[in-house]
Structure 1
Amino acid sequence: MTSESTHKKSPSPYKENKGLHSQTVGKRGPVLVQDTILHETLEEFAYSTTLPRVVHTKGYGAFGYFLTLRSMKEYTKAGFLQIPDTKVPVAVRFSLAASNKGTPDTSRNLRGLTTKFYTKEGNFDLLCNHIPVFFVRDAIRVPDAISHLAPSPVNNMADPQNFWTLFAKYPEATNILIWLFSDLGTVKSFRHIRAYGVSTYVWVNEEGIRHYVKYHWIPVAGEECIDQKEAELLACKNPDIAGGDLYDSIAKGQAVEYVLCVQLMNPEDEKTLPFDPLDDTKVWDETQYPLLPVGKMVLNRNPENYAEQVEKLAFAPSNLVEGLEFSDDKMLQGRAFVYSDAQRHRLGPDFRNIPINKQQNFSPKSMVSSGNGRYVAGEIMRSEIENPDDFTQAGEKYESLSTLGKNNLVNNIVFGLVHAKGETQNIVLRHLQMASPVLAKRVWDGIKTF
């Protein structure tokens, strides 16, 4: 039997599949404009990718539940925190703040740990970072601050001068500079990061008594970070190491667990503190405001459809439940609504009906507002807060590091700052001088000998 006869007698298994062939004039074409199957196939493909997030672009997801360990009734009327052993489903997205899809997981970066609690009272979104302070304290500065973390608009590559201008322009960023350029800024596993709510929220109980609250996620597996050398090695060897570690651990049946703790403060305390407790560039002393365990989160399920379950997750600080409110934190107030606007742009106006974001019986009326019953009066103005104190906590953080930690911090800053222009270097060094003269001198000596 010849090959020709074999070919003639072997019908193609794809012959009747309309989805594999465009409609043409004869076998060669041209393709017909009337081919609606072709157009619909290509148009579905063109719109199949969700628009990327403006920040926290690269991320991974996991699912599980939150279990309340002790009643928080004394402090909040939030339904899922009233009775021990109350269990609610959760969806979590781990992410890198300054990133694109190709950013290595071990890059020096802020990591996000953002959780959606699906409670009977509604969805509650808790947005956290793995560093407890932020670059700026007023949301009106965020677009400019983020622009300094972006690549150059000229060549789309890292721009050291633009990056370090952020720390020269905003003195309050000195605190996060110390945190970010310590070894804490480079990690290889999401299972080993502590996460912080950064902004200050409010808890309200049934009697209407308010407490300021800061949220903390404590990893049950313990905290771990790596140094810059290992971070660079792993970035080349496995740029997705943290995402792979998260997925593989859960796939092997090893649940990822976090304990939720809170710090609570009487709002009257703000009159005596040396800083503004609503300033997101500050931390609260854990000896003065100890961590109070609330519950445990267990992540035991991986996504089955990344595009639908992770990329379409839509978080917003405004997703609250009764008993959980905003404080007057300028950053939190500014972020409250822009997240939902961003989700409408990214996912469409019906983003709340995407299954992963679905809240039963949602309407604007079901949303929680903040501050009912408070009396607020004053002159309308644009002003800095009364107690900015941009440098004290930065110096304290430096002094809290081990000898090795201090050495690595100095080297990390030197290796970055040396590429900035002289005037920018001088301003950053002046800020470091205000925080710690010893640190500033060590950095300056390092730059001179680089």
Structure 2
Amino acid sequence: MSSRLRQAAAVVAAAVLVPVAFVPVANASGNHGNHGNDGNDRPRAVGYYTQWSNYSGFLVKNVHTSGTARKLTHINYAFGNVSADGKCFEANLAGENGGDAWADYQRPYSAEESVDGKADVAGQRLNGNFNQLLKLKKKHPKLKTLISLGGWTWSTYFSDAALTAQSRRTFVASCIDLYLKGNLPTLDSAQGGPGSGYGVFDGIDLDWEWPSTPGEPGNIVRPEDKRNFTLLLAEFRKQLDAYGKKTHRHYLLTSFLAANPAQIDVDYEVPKIFKYMDFATIQGYDLHGTWEPTTNHQSALFLPDGDTSAGAFSVDLVVDAYRSRGAPRSKLVVGVPFYGQGWTGVPDVNHGLFQPATLCPVGCGSLNYRDIKALPGFTTYRDRDAGFAWRYNGSTFYTYDDPQVMRTKARYIERERLGGVMIWSLDGDTPDGELMSALHMALNPIAQR
């Protein structure tokens, strides 16, 4: 059945809105094998590890101890910044012009905190998350790591960096020098120096939010960003391949793409951009959220019956939008959230779904899956036809993905022969990695690894 026919069937069918308990679902069978040339023999599973998660106690070590590392094919490290003069850089400065070199490669780890149980020693040239990622890769040799550039906060100067042929050459060369050649600055510590970070990263992920469309207030945005994004990818591919010939390696190039179908033609030249990328991750979350006055799903697989919002989105509609513009199935990696969006002051009608809300909960509505799961006094509801779940206690509402929803999405990825799944972000899972396990078993039903 085509995506459009499945979507129509999902809208016509009556949604099942009943309290549920967790019930295991049979795994899908088969393996689509569309894994590109990025060195994988299974569907891609890309997880974002955030620079700042170590401050809340989620260390790179936890990616290993939870069992998640062996189920991932790629880790995107978020984020690297772009300077006002259009270069990749490391610094210890706050704000949009800042960076956290301390977390990246200066912070010493104790034996208890370290992936391999060995403490960093005085004078060591590489500490921090970068060294822990290197240790993680030694334990999991098939795991690839990419530095993700930009994000919502640090996309300010992407437009300047991509503006001219010379600015693109300068920008790309600076990123390869810093992150792939590993020429980290020494700054104010013993860490860094020529080649100190070599081997940490296997490629570069561009998270420009957004070419030609405003993202965070203050971002530089130009109409020509759309074309310049394509040219920037071409320059990255050219320089990555040239460097790869010297090192006898293939360096990965990926990008994070927007979910809004109306935004695609404004921001991207599809399918031109896919010629240069190994794959792209597409946003499958934040389709709705607490910036809106009405409760809604944030990551529904299909458009649910009863959604009358002006921006009615679903994951399947986003995939269809990219496919209809020529994006190859095998290079579309679908994003899933390990967190949820929440509202409070929600009337007890329709179990809180599609209802007006008056307040945003603590943290402005964003809460990790593990915390939503543990909320006392909440009942779980789900729309099985549309593929999403929520929790509600009579006044507070959270839209989120639980293991059952993850299995449904993994089967969809397999059925549609897409390139895999991407997670934002790994620190939202339970200590034993139950969301990651649900995805992994559904995507790899034979191996059950």
Which structure is larger by alpha-carbon Rg, 1 or 2?
1
Q: What is the TM-score with the length of structure 1 in the denominator?
A: 0.22
TM-score w.r.t. structure 2 length?
A: 0.22
